[in-house]
Structure 1
Amino acid sequence: MRKFVVGTRKLGVAHPRDRRVISYDIEMTEVTGGTFWKPFTPAQVAGTEPYPQVHLPEGVPSELDMSSLLGDTKHLMAWRGPIDLGNGRLRTLARAIGPSWVRVSGSWATGTYYDFDGHTGGTAPAPYRAVLTLAQWRGVLDFVRAVGGKLLVSFAVLPGLGNEECRALGGTGAWDPAQVRMLLDTAGELGTPVSAVEFCNEPNISFMGSAGADGRPYVPDGYAQDQDAFYRMMRREYPGVLLVGPCGAMDPVTPELAGLPLVRALGDSFVTSGRLLEACHEAPDVFSYHIYGGVSERGAAFGHHWDADEAASDAALDVADEARRYYEPLRDRTCPDAPLWVTESGDANCGGNTWGSTFLDVFRQADELARFAAAAPGGVLFHNTLASSDYGLLDEGDLMPRPNWWLLWLWRRLVGNGAYDQDSLVLSRVAGEGQAHVYAFARAGHILGATLVVINSSQVDELCLVLPMASERYTLSSSEAPAFGFVSTGQLRGRHVLLNGRPLELGSGDELPSLCSFAVRQPRGKVTLQPGTVSFLTLRTLRLS
C-alpha cells in the first residue's frame, strides 16, 4: 500500500478559473453530414477483435497533402448524416456538464460553403466540398442557446479560391469575407451570437503541400497574410468577438512527437505553430492549440501510440501537461497574457482508441482536466467530441453517457471555479512510486472548503490518504472491476461506471441521479482508495489542520 499524508499548511485563496473550462466540439461534419472516423465494433472495444489501420506510403509523397500521407483511409471512415441537435437527451446531458463553450469546426469546416437561401441545391460549388444550410445553422444556434453555451466557429480557407474582396482586404484571396459576414450576422439575427472565432482548423497540417496564389507554399507566409487580413476585418466589423489562434496541431511538444515518422520525414518543411505565429503581424486574443494523449491503434503507423496497458501510466498522463509547458512560452512571446485554450483534446488522434469509450480513459480525462484547470488561469479545455466517434462523451447511436461524461458530471457538482497552488497542498510520499495524483480545488456551490481530486491509476496498489478532518468521498470505478484488490486492464475497459460501488445511470425520462444519495462519509484520519479509481474528497474548511 502507498501512503500519503496531507499536510497542515493553510491552503490560502483559491485562484479563479474559467467556469467554462469543461467544453466540447461538435464537428462541422456532424452538422452538415459527412465523413468521420468509423466507430469501432463492440468486440474491438472489448479488445477481442482486430481493427483496421492506417498504412503509410513509403517515403514522403511528392504531393504533401494529408490524403497522400495517409494513403487510402476509406476503410477507416464512415458517412454520417447530420446530427439531431434538437434531441432531448443530447440537450439534457450537454446542459448537465455546462456551462460550456461549443466549438463547431474541424477539418470539414475548412471546406464548407454557407448557403442560406438554397441556391446551391445542396451541391457545394468548387473548390468547396460541403454545404451548410440555414436550417442546419439554426439547429446549431438553437442548441447552443438551449444548453446555455457560447459559440466558437472556424471558417473555410481555400488557397485556390481567388476571392477579390479578400485580396482587397490584404489577403491572398483564400477566404470569402461575404461568407464570414453571413455566418456571423445570421447568428446575431437569430439570437445566438458567435462569441469567438478561430480563422481555420489546424492550418499547419491542413495545407501541407498546398500552394498559394504566388505558387509558393501557402504556409506559413500566405496563410499568415490571410489570417492577418481576417483579424483586421473582425476587429473592425465585429469588435466584441474573441479571436482565437493559431489552432495548431502535431507540434513536437514531446520527444516522442518530435520523433514521429511523418515529422521526421518532413524535416524543416514541417510548419509548427511557432512558425505560423511568427509570420503573422496580428496577434490573437486567445492562444489555442490541439493535443491528444497519443495516436489511436488505427493510426499507430504514425508512432506515439500507447497500448492499453500503458494508457494510465504516468508517461501517458504527462503528455497533455507537457504540451501546456511547450505552448506557454510561445504564447508569452507572441501574445502575452492571452488565455490558453485547448480547442481539441481527447484520448487519441485518428478518432480515439478502442478503449476511448470505456472507463480506462477516465484516468487521462481526470488528470488532464485537473492539471489544466490547476495551471491555466482563464483556460478552456474542449473535448473532441460531444457525441461522435469513439472519443465522444456520448454514444453516437443512443446518446447514452459514457464513463468520461459521468466524470465531467461529477466534476461540475463537486469542483468549483478556483484552484489552490499545488505547493500549498503538502503531500509526503511514504511509500511507492508514481501513478498517484492529487489536486486541490475550491468546492462547488460557494461552500467554503476544498475538493481533492485523487487519481489512483495503479492497477495493484491501494492508496492511503491521511486527512486531518472528516470528508465526503465519491469514488468512480469500472463496472467490471472487483471491489477490492488487483484490477486488470480488461476490467478497466468496462463501458459503465460505478460511483461508490453503485451504478451511475439515467433514470426514467433521462432523469439524472441524486448525487447526495451516493455520498460516503469519511471520518478524520485514514482514507483508503482502491486501485484503478478516481475519487473526489470534499472538505468543509479552508484549513487542513
Structure 2
Amino acid sequence: MSHRIAAALCGCIASVWLAVPAFSATFADPPRIDPANLPRVGTIDERFQSYNIEMVEITGGRFWRPYRSRPDAEPTPPHPGSNTPEGMDAHLFRYRPPIDLTNTRLRMLAAALGPAYVRVSGTWANTTYFADSDEPPSLSPPGFKAVLSREQWLHVVRFSQSVNAQIVMSFAIGAGNRDATGVWTPDQAQRLLAYTHSIGGKIAAAEFMNEPNLAAMGGAPAGYDAAAYGRDFKLFYSFMKRASPDTMILGPGAVGATPAASDFLAASGHDLDALSYHYYKTVSERCGGKSVPETTLSEDWLSGTDHVLSFYRALRDRFEPGKPIWLTETADAACGGNPWAATFLDTFRYLDQLGRLARAGVQVVMHNTLAASDYGLIDEKSLQPRPNYWGALLWRRLMGTIVLASAVSFQSSLHVYAHCLRGAPGGVSLLVINTDRNASHALVLSTAAERYSLGATGLGDSDVKLNGSTLRLNVGDELPNIASEPVAAGMVTFDPGTITFLAIPVAANNACR
C-alpha cells in the first residue's frame, strides 16, 4: 500500500539527527527592506492557518503507530474489529482511544490559534457510520469500519464553538453507504447534518470524500474511478444544496500532483466554492519512505509545495477559473509524519510553507494534525505544545490577512515573507527564515522593529527557544509571555538555522491601514 501512497506524492529521499554546527557570518551586500513601501499582493482568509482532527481520533481506532511505541503497550480496543485501511499493513497502526475534546489544556491551546477551521475527515471518515440514536451499536454495521456516536459528534461541535474553529468535513462513501446498484446514498449525510443543526452546530465547508485518487485504500468500491466519482458527486452536490445550502462545497480533495486528480475534478461537473487538495512531500519512514533530515532546509524540499500548487492552480484555471484554492491536508510526510516531525527541524517547513502559500494566494492551509501522531502540533499523550505549535502561535499573533511583497528573492538563504501586522493599522510583520545551517545572514531595515527569534540547541530538538528562553506552558497551564526584543533600524543579523518574526507597528504602510 505504501507504494500507492508514494505514487501520489513527490519524491522519496534514511534518517540522521543533526545539531546546529559552528557558523560564520556572511553580510556582503545584504538585502534592504523599507517596510513602509512594501506593496500589497493579496489577501488570505482570516482562518488561513487551520488544522485537522482525524475522524479516527473522534471515534477511537487504529491510527499511525508512534515510532517509540512498544507492541506490548498497545491499548485494548473496546470492541473487536479493525479499521485498518484497505491494503495497509496492520502493524503500521496502533489503537488509540477517542480524543478528549473537553480537555481544558487542549481547548486553551486550540483557542490560541483561532479563528481557524477544524477539518474532521481523513481516510477513516470514508467508512465511519454515524449512529443517530442515544445508544450506538457496539459493532459497526456491514459496510462500515467505525461508529461515530451522537455524544462524540456533540463534543466536536462544542469544541469548534469553544475554540473559534469552524467545522470542515467529508462524508462516508463506503459499501455501507450505497444502494443495491453501488450508487452513493445521502442517508448518513442527512442524519449527521440534521443532528448537527439540531444542537446548534454548523458545517462551514465539506468535501464529498477523502482523497478520491486513493479510493481503494479509503474504502470505496473496487474499481471506483472518476466516472463513478462524478456520478456520486452530482448526487452529493444536489443533496448539500438542499440540506445545508450555506455549506461551502470543496473538491476534489485529491492528494499529490497526479493525472487522476485532474480526472476527478473534471468529473465533478459542478461549480465548486473552492478547489481543495492535499500535499505531502513524501511518505514517512513507517510507510517505507526514505527521508534525510539534512535535505529538509534545502530549496528542493521546501519548494515542493510550490510545484504541487502550480499543478492545482492550472487545474483550477482550466475547470474552476477564479475560485479560491484550499490546501485541506498537509504535513512533512504522509503516514503520520517522520520521526523528526515533532522537532524544531520541521518548523522550517511548516512556516515556510505558510509563507509561500499565502504569497501565492492560497486561502486556507490545514495542518495534519492538531494532536495526533508524530506530525501533530501538540503531543497527543502529554498535550504539550511541540515546536510547530509555537511557530503557529507566532504566525497567528503577528501575520495579518493582507499579504505584502517582501522585496527579497530566494537567491540567498534568507526566505522573507511580509504581511500587514495583525491588529496594528499601518504595521508590517516580516517572517525571516535562515535556512543556512552554517552561516548568519543579514537584512538592512529602514525602521526599528520588535524581534521574536525561534531557535534550538540542535535542529532535532523537541524544545524550542524564543529569543534564547525555552518555551513551555506555565505552571497553571497557561501560555507563557511571548516577549519580543527591540531591534534598531539598520543591519539585522539572523543566526544559522533560525526563524525570526519582526513586528514593525510604526511602519506606516498605507496598504495596511
Query: TM-score range, shorter-chain basis?
Result: 0.7 to 0.9
Q: What is the SS of the residue equivalent to 2:282? A: coil
User: Which of the numbers 26, 32, 39 marks the counterpart of 1:2?
Assistant: 26
Q: What is the SS of the residue equivalent to 2:334? A: coil
Structure 1 contact 11–542 (Cα < 8 Å) conserved = no
Look up the equivalent residue of 1:388 and give its one-letter code: A
Q: CA–CA distance in 2 between the matches of 1:66 and 1:147?
A: 31
Q: What is the SS of the residue equivalent to 2:342? A: coil
Match of residue 21 from structure 1: 48
Look up the equivalent residue of 1:238 and give its one-letter code: S
What are the residue-to-residue correspondences of 1:348-387 with 2, within 5 Å? 348-376=333-361, 379-387=363-371
1:524 aligns with 2:502: no
Q: What is the SS of the residue equivalent to 1:464? A: strand
Structure 1's consecutive aligned runs of 4 or more residues displaced over 6 angstroms after TM superposition are 208-211
Structure 2 contact 426–509 (Cα < 8 Å) conserved = no
Match of residue 56 from structure 1: none
Return the offset for 1:161. 4.7
Structure 1 residues 352 and 163, CA gap change in structure 2 (3 angstroms): same
Match of residue 100 from structure 2: 84
Match of residue 463 from structure 2: 496
Look up the equivalent residue of 2:240 and give its one-letter code: M
- TM-score of the aligned structures, taking structure 1 as reference length: 0.82
Return the offset for 1:426. 3.0
Structure 1 contact 102–144 (Cα < 8 Å) conserved = yes
Q: What is the SS of the residue equivalent to 2:313? A: helix
Structure 1 residues 448 and 161, CA gap change in structure 2 (3 angstroms): closer
Structure 1 residues 209 and 288, CA gap change in structure 2 (3 angstroms): closer
Out of 230-239 and 362-371, give the one that drifted further: 230-239
Match of residue 46 from structure 1: none
User: Which of the numbers 15, 30, 35 marks the counterpart of 2:62?
Assistant: 35
Match of residue 404 from structure 1: 388
1:124 aligns with 2:130: no
1:427 aligns with 2:443: no
Instruction: Show CA shifts across 1:382-431 (max 9, x none).
Output: 000000000000000011000000001111111111101x3xx33379xx
1:188 aligns with 2:173: no
What are the residue-to-residue correspondences of 1:73-112 with 2, within 5 Å? 73-112=89-128
Return the offset for 1:434. 4.2
Q: CA–CA distance in 1 between the matches of 2:278 and 2:50?
A: 14
Match of residue 314 from structure 1: 299
Q: CA–CA distance in 2 between the matches of 1:17 and 1:120?
A: 41
Structure 2 contact 107–163 (Cα < 8 Å) conserved = yes
Structure 1 residues 538 and 211, CA gap change in structure 2 (3 angstroms): closer
1:177 aligns with 2:186: yes
Q: What is the SS of the residue equivalent to 1:407? A: helix
Match of residue 5 from structure 2: none
The answer for unaligned runs of 5 or more in structure 1 is 44-64, 165-171, 253-270, 482-490
Match of residue 436 from structure 1: 414
Return the offset for 1:14. 6.1
Match of residue 268 from structure 1: none
What are the residue-to-residue correspondences of 1:219-368 with 2, within 5 Å? 219-252=225-258, 272-301=260-289, 305-368=290-353
Structure 2 contact 452–466 (Cα < 8 Å) conserved = yes
Return the offset for 1:148. 1.1
Structure 1 contact 507–513 (Cα < 8 Å) conserved = yes
User: Which of the numbers 445, 469, 486 marks the counterpart of 2:423?
Assistant: 445
Return the offset for 1:207. 2.7
User: Which of the numbers 379, 390, 397 marks the counterpart of 2:374?
Assistant: 390
Q: CA–CA distance in 2 between the matches of 1:375 and 1:161?
A: 38
Instruction: Show CA shifts across 1:166-210 (max 9, x none).
Output: xxxxxx644331211111111111112111111100011123798
Q: CA–CA distance in 1 between the matches of 2:50 and 2:322?
A: 21
Q: CA–CA distance in 2 between the matches of 1:182 and 1:373?
A: 36
Out of 526-535 and 8-17, give the one that drifted further: 8-17
User: Which of the numbers 382, 398, 407 marks the counterpart of 1:414?
Assistant: 398
Structure 1 residues 353 and 235, CA gap change in structure 2 (3 angstroms): same
Structure 2 contact 127–219 (Cα < 8 Å) conserved = no
Q: CA–CA distance in 2 between the matches of 1:160 and 1:220?
A: 20
Q: CA–CA distance in 2 between the matches of 1:329 and 1:292?
A: 19
Structure 2 contact 47–114 (Cα < 8 Å) conserved = yes
Return the offset for 1:543. 5.1
Q: CA–CA distance in 2 between the matches of 1:508 and 1:443?
A: 30
Structure 1 residues 428 and 188, CA gap change in structure 2 (3 angstroms): closer
Q: What is the SS of the residue equivalent to 1:399? A: coil
Look up the equivalent residue of 2:324 and give its one-letter code: P
Instruction: Show CA shifts across 1:223-262 (max 9, x none).
Output: 110011110121133211110110001334xxxxxxxxxx
Q: CA–CA distance in 1 between the matches of 2:177 and 2:443?
A: 61
Structure 1 residues 37 and 209, CA gap change in structure 2 (3 angstroms): closer
Q: CA–CA distance in 2 between the matches of 1:337 and 1:89?
A: 40
Q: What is the SS of the residue equivalent to 1:290? A: strand
Q: CA–CA distance in 2 between the matches of 1:248 and 1:426?
A: 33
Structure 1 contact 314–434 (Cα < 8 Å) conserved = no
Out of 438-447 and 9-18, give the one that drifted further: 9-18
User: Which of the numbers 184, 209, 212 marks the counterpart of 1:203?
Assistant: 212
Q: CA–CA distance in 1 between the matches of 2:64 and 2:311?
A: 29
Give the aligned CA root-mean-square deviation in angstroms: 2.3
Return the offset for 1:120. 5.3
Structure 1 residues 159 and 220, CA gap change in structure 2 (3 angstroms): farther
- The percentage of counterpart residues that share the same residue type is 40
User: Which of the numbers 118, 123, 129 marks the counterpart of 1:113?
Assistant: 129
Q: What is the SS of the residue equivalent to 1:372? A: helix
Look up the equivalent residue of 1:524 and give its one-letter code: A
- TM-score of the aligned structures, taking structure 2 as reference length: 0.87
Return the offset for 1:158. 1.9
Match of residue 4 from structure 2: none
Q: CA–CA distance in 1 between the matches of 2:450 and 2:66?
A: 38
The answer for unaligned runs of 5 or more in structure 2 is 1-24, 71-83
Q: What is the SS of the residue equivalent to 1:79? A: strand
Return the offset for 1:504. 1.1
